[in-house]
Amino acid sequence: MKICNYLEDIVREELEKVLADIKDICKCDKCKLDMTAWALNRLPAQYVVTPKGRIYTKLKEENMQMKVDIMIALTKAILSVSKNPQH
């Protein structure tokens, strides 16, 4: 087992979904990593040391508010990075 911030996987997955619907911005790996980091730096870390199945069970308990917080952070990240890409 290792310690991990389970929001990393969730943020990456949600970013891919959001970017699929957005045109005219860079979607290179560097920009996507910058967007992910930007969002994660503004969300509370959710460190866990449990198997993946238990992580998703825990996430379901907080699902609605966590999803809203993630979407707000991702929207701001996309706007910020797309205005000033670092690639």
What confidence score (pLDDT) does residue 54 get? 63
Q: How many CA atoms within 13 Å lie on the side-chain side of 59? A: 23
pLDDT in tens, 56-83: 656 666 678 888 999 999 999 999 999 9
Q: How many CA atoms lie within 13 A of 53 on its CB side?
A: 0
User: In one letter, which amino acid is 60?
Assistant: K
The pLDDT value given to residue 49: 75
Q: What is the pLDDT of residue 62?
A: 67
Enumerate residues 6+ apart whose C-beta is below 8 A from 66: 10, 59
Q: What is the pLDDT of residues 4-26, one digit of tens each?
A: 888 898 899 999 999 999 999 99
